[in-house]
């Protein structure tokens, strides 16, 4: 069962060395609400170290803007290109270091776990994840980002929200008799 909170802000990050996605969820009670999502565009930087500096600056700016209580970040998965993996790990490490410098607890989630939490399918596409998030968080198609990295960041935050437990229904009924006994004023 999700433990109700007065308010909690969760920052989710999908690390990348070209495009880094992020999403911010506000949880009130047991209800999540998307308050922001976007990308950190690193394509204009040719030098990897300049990318790392930009990641540091932007993640710090996002943290200062939304004051998250927790960070959920997608763990890189092993690829065939060791050099790319090393660069991705550095990018993830910089984002984590910024959060740690602000005493924000960090939880890593495997891509498979995030997709499974959102869609029920660990092999879901980025589009399927984005579509499910749009339905669950009730944001319009107009708010759908151009880059799915943003919804991947939001997915990390939503996965973390789900780890708070399972939402409970305010009123559950085992059948019509149970409904009638709990709501005599609503039945004639």
Active-site residues, by number, are 14, 74, 149
Tokens of residue 64, six digits? 């200062």
* 180: Cα within 13 Å, side-chain hemisphere: 5
**14 belongs to an annotated ligand binding site:** yes
**149 belongs to an annotated ligand binding site:** yes
**152 belongs to an annotated ligand binding site:** no
Distance of CA 150 to the CA centre of its chain: 9
Binding residue positions: 14, 74, 149
Residues annotated within a binding site for Mg(2+): 14, 74, 149
């Amino acid at each position: 069962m999700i433990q109700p909170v007065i308010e909690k802000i969760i920052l989710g990050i999908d690390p990348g060395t070209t495009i880094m996605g992020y999403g911010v969820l506000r949880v009130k009670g047991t209800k999540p609400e998307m308050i922001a999502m976007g990308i950190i565009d690193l394509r204009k930087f040719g030098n990897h170290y300049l990318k790392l500096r930009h990641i540091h600056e932007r993640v710090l700016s996002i943290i200062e803007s939304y004051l998250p209580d927790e960070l959920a970040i997608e763990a890189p998965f092993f690829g065939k290109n060791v050099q790319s993996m090393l660069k991705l790990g550095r990018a993830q490490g910089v984002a984590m270091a910024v959060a740690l410098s602000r005493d924000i607890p960090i939880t890593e989630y495997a891509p498979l776990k995030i997709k499974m939490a959102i869609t029920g399918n660990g092999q879901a596409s980025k589009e399927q994840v984005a579509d499910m998030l749009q339905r669950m968080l009730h944001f319009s198609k107009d708010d759908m980002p151009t880059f799915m990295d943003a919804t991947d960041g939001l997915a990390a935050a939503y996965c973390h929200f789900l780890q708070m437990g399972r939402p409970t229904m305010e009123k559950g009924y085992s059948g019509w008799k149970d409904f009638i006994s709990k709501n005599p004023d609503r039945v004639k």
